[in-house]
Chains A and B, each alone.
Chain A
Amino acid sequence: MSIMELKQVGYSYDNKRKVLRGINAEMKQGKLYAILGPSGCGKTTLLSLIGGLDSPGSGQILFDGKDIAKTGLGDHRKNHVAFIFQAYNLIDYLTPAENVSLTSKLPPLPILERLGLTKEEAKRNVLKLSGGQQQRVAIARALASEAPVILADEPTGNLDEDTARDITEILKESAHQMNKCVVVVTHSNELAREADVVFRLKRGELQTLEKVTGTKNDNRRNGRRGR
C-alpha cells in the first residue's frame, strides 16, 4: 500500500503561472524515488507540497490514505515527513548533535557516527563543518526524526563527487534497510540511477520513467566508497 498519494495535484504561482497540472503519483515505503526535470519546472514545489510546506492549488495529497490538508500540514510535517534541503538548513547556534535532537528523542551520536561524523565533530558548531558534513547532519536529522517519509531537495547538489556518492548510498540504505519512503528531487543521473522509481516533471506533468539499469556496475566501476 502506498504511504503517499498525489491526486490531481495542481499548483500555480500567484494564481497565474501553472507549474503543476493534475499530478497523480503513489509512493511506497522501502523505495527510493527520484524526481528529475529541468530547472524551474516545479520539482521543489512538488516536494514542498508532499512535505506540507505549502498547500496545492487543487487536488489532494494523501498520507496513509488521509488528506494532509484535513489532518493538518503542521502535524504532517511533525510526524510524517523529514526534509533534507540542498542548503542543509541547519540551526546555526546548535551543534550537529543538537540539530539532530531538534525533533528526535533518540541519542544523536550513534546516527551521526554512522553517517561519518566523529564525536568531536558532533559537538562542534555546525557552521564550522564542511558542506558534506553539514549535509550528513541534515540527513541524520531526517533519519532521527523517525518520519516514514524522507524528502530530499537536491541533497547532493552542493557536494563533491565522492561525498555525493556517499549521500546517495545513505539515502538508498534509508529506503531499503530502514524501510523509509525516500523522495529525492535531483539533477543527478547518478542518484537517479540508484532510485527504484524515477519520475520526470515536464511542463507541469509527472511522468514515470523506465528504471535505469546498470547502476551497480557503474558504481563498481567508479570504485564507490561503501559505508
Chain B
Amino acid sequence: MTLGTRAVLHTARKWKKTLLLFFLLVFIVTLVLSGLAIADAQEEQAEELRGTTGASFTVERDISTGGWSGNASTQEFLSEDMIQQIASLDGVAGYDASLITLPRMFNDKGEELAHENYSFYNYGSYNSQYHELFLSGRFELVEGTHITDDMTGSILISRELAEWNDLKLGDTLTGIYYPENDTPAVDVEIVGIFDVVADKDDQINMYDDTSYYDYSSFAFCSMDVAEGLIKGWGEDEEGISEAYFYVSDAAQLDSVIAEAQDISSINWNNYKISMNDEVYENISSSLKDTGRLITTLIVVITAVSMVLIILILSMSVRSRRKETGILLAVGIAKPAVILQYALETMLIAIVAFPLAYLSSKQVAGALGTLFGKTAANVIVTPQHFMMVAVVGAALLLASVLVSCTPAIRLKPKQILAQME
C-alpha cells in the first residue's frame, strides 16, 4: 500500500480530525487573507492621502546671516532662476514665491478699505494654491480661483474683508504702497475670496512682519501687481523673500529637500529651508497607528493560529505514535511515514485554502469596515492567496515535521514499548 493511499484512507476515515483541521484552516486562512487585504487597503489609503495632503517646504532668505541697513536686512533675495531650479526637481509638483508688499487699498470710489491694520499684508504670488498658508490649511479658497502665473492684475482677499467692505468677485480695487509718497497706483480685480480657517496664535510671538497683521488683512496678488506696487520705490530693497515648493508625495519631502540642498549654484548660507508637513504628519500618524494595529493583528492572528495548528497537529501525531511504531516495525521507512502525515495535512489544506480564499472575499470587506475602510476597497487578490498558500503550506509542513520528530527519533521498539 502506498503512502498516498494510506494518507487518503486516514483523511477519509478519521473524518472528525479531518474536519477539525479543515475548519480551523479555513477560519485562520480567511482571517489572514482578510488581514492582508485590509493592510493593502490601508497602504493604498495612505498613498492616496499622501498625494492629497502633500507637503511643502519653504525657502526663505536667512536674515540672521545677512547684514542690516537700518531696520532692513541686506540679505540677498531669492532669484527667479534659483526658484526654477528647485521647482524642476523630481517630486516638486508646484511652487509659489512671495514678493511681500504692504500696500493700502482703495475701492472704485477712491475710499480706503476698512480693515484691521494700517496696510495690507500682500503676497505677490505665482501660484497661490501652493502658498504655505493654503497648503497648511490655515486659509481656504471659498470663492473664485487661485492666482496662477499666467494671471495679471488679480488679487485674493479674505472673506472678512470682503464682507466688511461689501466686496465681491470681479470688483476692482486700487493698491498704492505709499500714497503719501505718490508711489504707483495699481488696479487689481478680485478673482478669489478665502476663508481664514486657523487663528494666528502660532505666529503671534515670532519675529515676523506677519505678527503685526491680522489674517483678514492678508491678500495675495499676481506677481505683476506686486512688482508694480514697488516700481520706482524700493525696487532695490524689495524682492522675493520666500518661495514654497509643493511635494505631491509627502513621504518624499525629506529626499526632495536634500536634493534641493545639493544644488551647488545656490549659496545655502544665505537661505534657510523649513518643512511644512503638519497636515500630513497629523494624518499620517493616525494612519500609522491604524496600520500598526492591523499589522499587529495579522501577526498575532497568524502566530496564535500557527501555535494552535502546531498544537493540534502535534497532538494528532502524538496520538498516532503507536501507528508510527507499527509502520516502522513493518518496514515502512521513516521518510515515508513523515510524508504520509504531511500529505494528509496537504490534502486538507488543498481544499481548505481555496475555500478560505472564497470566504475571505466575502468576509474581508465586512472586517475592513471595522478598521474604517470602505468594503469595496478591501480586496483579496490572487497574489494574497498565493502568498498565504505558499507560506501556509510551508508552515504546515514544518509543523508536521516538528510534531513527528520526537517519535521518529525513537527506535520502533521504544515507541511500541511506550505504547504498551
Closest-CB distance, A12 to chain B (whole angstroms): 14
Is A74 part of the binding interface, using a Cβ–Cβ cutoff of 8 Å?
Answer: yes
Chain A residues in 8 Å Cβ range of B330: 77, 82-83, 102-103, 141, 145
Known: A77-B412, A93-B9, A98-B1. A53 touches B14 (CB 8 A): no
A89 touches B413 (CB 8 A): no
Is A63 part of the binding interface, using a Cβ–Cβ cutoff of 8 Å?
Answer: no
How many residues of B are counted as interface, with CB atoms below 8 angstroms from the partner's CB atoms? Answer: 25
B13 touches A93 (CB 8 A): yes
A48 touches B1 (CB 8 A): no
A77 touches B416 (CB 8 A): no
Chain A residues in 8 Å Cβ range of B13: 93
A93 touches B414 (CB 8 A): no
Known: A93-B10, A98-B1. A54 touches B414 (CB 8 A): yes
Closest-CB distance, B222 to chain A (whole angstroms): 87
Interface code B132-159, partner A: CB below 8 Å = 1, 0 otherwise?
A: 0000000000000000000000000000
How many residues of A are counted as interface, with CB atoms below 8 angstroms from the partner's CB atoms? Answer: 27
Chain A residues in 8 Å Cβ range of B331: 74, 77-79, 81, 103, 145
Closest-CB distance, B40 to chain A (whole angstroms): 42
Count chain B CB atoms within 10 A of each CB in A48, A55, A81, A90 and give the residue with the most: A48
Chain B residues in 8 Å Cβ range of A89: 322, 325-326, 329, 416
CB-nearest residue of chain A to B412: A53
A41-85 residues with Cβ-Cβ distance < 8 A to B are 45, 48, 51, 53-55, 74, 77-79, 81-83, 85
Q: Main SS of the interface on chain A?
A: loop
Is B297 part of the binding interface, using a Cβ–Cβ cutoff of 8 Å?
Answer: no
CB-nearest residue of chain A to B325: A89
Chain A residues in 8 Å Cβ range of B332: 78, 102-103
CB-nearest residue of chain B to A105: B1
Closest-CB distance, A196 to chain B (whole angstroms): 25
Chain B residues in 8 Å Cβ range of A102: 1, 6, 327, 330, 332
Alpha-carbon distance A48/B325, docked complex (angstroms) = 12
A-B contact pairs, 16 of them (CB 8 A): A48-B413, A51-B329, A53-B329, A54-B414, A77-B331, A77-B412, A81-B331, A89-B322, A89-B326, A91-B327, A93-B14, A94-B6, A98-B9, A103-B1, A103-B330, A145-B330
Binding site for A on B (CB under 8 A): 1, 6, 9-10, 13-14, 322-323, 325-334, 411-414, 416, 419-420
Further 16 A-B residue pairs, CB within 8 A, beyond A77-B412, A83-B329, A91-B6: A48-B413, A51-B329, A53-B413, A54-B411, A54-B413, A55-B411, A74-B333, A78-B332, A82-B330, A89-B329, A90-B326, A91-B326, A93-B10, A101-B1, A102-B1, A103-B331
Binding site for B on A (CB under 8 A): 45, 48, 51, 53-55, 74, 77-79, 81-83, 85, 87, 89-94, 98, 101-103, 141, 145
Nearest first, the 10 A-B pairs at minimum CB distance are: A78-B331, A53-B413, A77-B331, A54-B413, A48-B413, A93-B13, A53-B412, A89-B326, A101-B1, A103-B330
